[in-house]
């Protein structure tokens, strides 16, 4: 089964992915995590550090969206073709990339023409994936939280290129529409929401165990429903 971990920047997608892998491993269930391309991303620091004028001149937001889209397309294919694990776990999905591109268009960082080209490329990629047996995930685990929690978590993890105070407006623009997009526009899979305002999977072992158990229960429900439908 395929799981994607979605949600706002800083809320703990990678931490939840790692927890799930360790949880399944402890139970003797093989899984593999496909991480978001952050540390080896040459464009991301520029996106956060350059001035608006430099971003515009170099078209960095558009390049960043293409970079992520290409990496996630490759990840989806790897997940589909991976033979061994019972579970594949993706750190953010190709579907969420569209939302980030949309926000950047609304902010004027991506032009209407660039967004049109981006959407056509996404459509082409998804058409290619349609030829494969199972492109969509079985479950999105969506991490949601208040804007204060988002900022606190971003500051706490301390990636230097993310903690510029001037980025707060950008984070707010992404945050304010994320829940609405997931609830009303995302339809690739079931969604399991975790309230990160009251959940700390890094520092609270009870929270970490509960999240893993709840996700496993949801996956079993999806599997049971699918088998019942086939039968």
Q: 227: pLDDT confidence band, cut at 50, 70 and 90? A: low
Residue 136 is predicted with a pLDDT of 77
pLDDT tens digits, one per residue of 82-122: 666 688 899 888 889 899 999 999 999 899 999 999 999 98
Q: What is the DSSP letter of 176?
A: H
Q: Which of these, 184, 229, 192, lies nearest to 211 by C-alpha position?
A: 192
Q: Choose the catalytic residue: 18, 91, 97, 138.
A: 91
With beta carbons less than 8 A apart as the criterion, state whether 223 and 229 touch: no
- Angle 173-162-6 (CA atoms, 0-180°, nearest 5)? 60
Domain boundaries, the chain: 2-230
CATH superfamily ID and name for 2-230:
P-loop containing nucleotide triphosphate hydrolases (3.40.50.300)
Q: 124: pLDDT confidence band, cut at 50, 70 and 90? A: confident
Q: What is the mean pLDDT of residues 142-147?
A: 96
pLDDT tens digits, one per residue of 199-224: 999 899 999 999 999 999 999 998 87
Q: For residue 87, which phi and psi values (nearest 5 degrees)?
A: -125, 135
Q: Has 130 been annotated as catalytic?
A: no
CA–CA dist 139, 6 (Å, integer): 10
Structure tokens belonging to residue 111: 């032009």
pLDDT tens digits, one per residue of 145-198: 999 999 988 888 766 566 666 778 889 999 999 999 999 999 889 999 999 999
């Amino acid at each position: 089964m395929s799981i994607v971990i979605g949600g706002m920047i800083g809320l703990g997608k990678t931490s939840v992915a790692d927890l799930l892998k360790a949880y399944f491993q402890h139970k003797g269930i093989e899984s593999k995590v496909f991480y978001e391309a952050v540390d080896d991303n040459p464009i991301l620091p520029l996106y956060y550090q350059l001035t608006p004028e430099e971003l515009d001149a170099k078209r960095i937001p558009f390049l960043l969206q293409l970079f992520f889209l290409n990496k996630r397309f490759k990840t989806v294919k790897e997940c589909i073709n991976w033979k061994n694990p019972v579970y594949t776990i993706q750190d953010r999905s190709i579907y969420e990339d569209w939302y980030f591109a949309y926000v950047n268009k609304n902010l004027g960082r991506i032009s209407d023409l660039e967004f049109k080209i981006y959407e056509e490329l996404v459509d082409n990629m998804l058409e290619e994936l349609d030829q494969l047996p199972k492109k969509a995930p079985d479950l999105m685990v969506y991490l949601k939280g208040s804007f204060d929690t988002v900022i606190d978590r971003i500051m706490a993890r301390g990636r230097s290129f993310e903690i510029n105070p001037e980025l707060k407006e950008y984070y707010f623009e992404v945050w304010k529409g994320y829940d609405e997009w997931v609830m009303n526009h995302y339809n690739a899979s079931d969604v399991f929401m975790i309230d990160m305002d009251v959940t700390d999977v890094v520092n609270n072992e009870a929270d970490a165990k509960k999240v893993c158990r709840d996700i496993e229960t949801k996956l079993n429900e999806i599997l049971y429903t699918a088998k019942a439908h086939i039968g």
